[in-house]
Structure 1
Amino acid sequence: MPWKSKGEKAEAADRAGARLARQATVEVAGLLGKRDMSRADLARLMGVSPGRVSQILSGDENLTLRSLAAVAEALQLDVKISFVEPKDDGPRRAHGLGDGSDAFVYAP
């Protein structure tokens, strides 16, 4: 294995991070849809360019908590992050909490 190669755990963490970022952007897109808002509307509320909102919602694995917080602030929402024990029911995935909220749980 080349010396620059990531270890198996690091690669798994990268994949999990990318999936989590995609799920977060899907959640934001869903919120915009529920509110009949466009990305341009969100950009105006955030005080950023529409291009910046597109970057945030691109599903980039480098999506930051600060970016999510800025989106939440613009939408007058809070972000909820929970760590939970994984279920042993097959492949792990992101899913809604089922409590009527817009929160989700991600199991890598």
Structure 2
Amino acid sequence: MPTVTVGEKTLNCDRGANLRRVLLDNNIDLYNGKAQFINCRGLGSCGTCAVEIEGEVSEANWKEQGRLSLPPHSPTRGLRLACQTKVLGNIKVRKYDGFWGQGQERVW
């Protein structure tokens, strides 16, 4: 069973679990500010669930690659959309500031 480390918290999930669902089901504030109200609810179109991930996860699909190539994101930053990411092994997740999580300061 993979573990998801978020700040000081360690969560367990099934292999192949959707990262957005894992975080929200464990009361992790995935969205910054008003993005908690204004987001695509997991469709992969808004980009507000962008996070940095270390560890084994699914490859980025076309939807995720497309959204992360548009401003304010940058494909060279290495962020992933939690809503499009499946957890395949133990991972560490970081969230950054900014409406879309595109900032430089860590939130968690």
TM-score range, shorter chain: under 0.3
TM-score using structure 1 length = 0.27
Indicate the structure whose relative CO is greater, using CA pairs within 8 Å and at least 6 residues apart: 2
Give the number of the structure whose residues are more often strand, by fraction.
Answer: 2
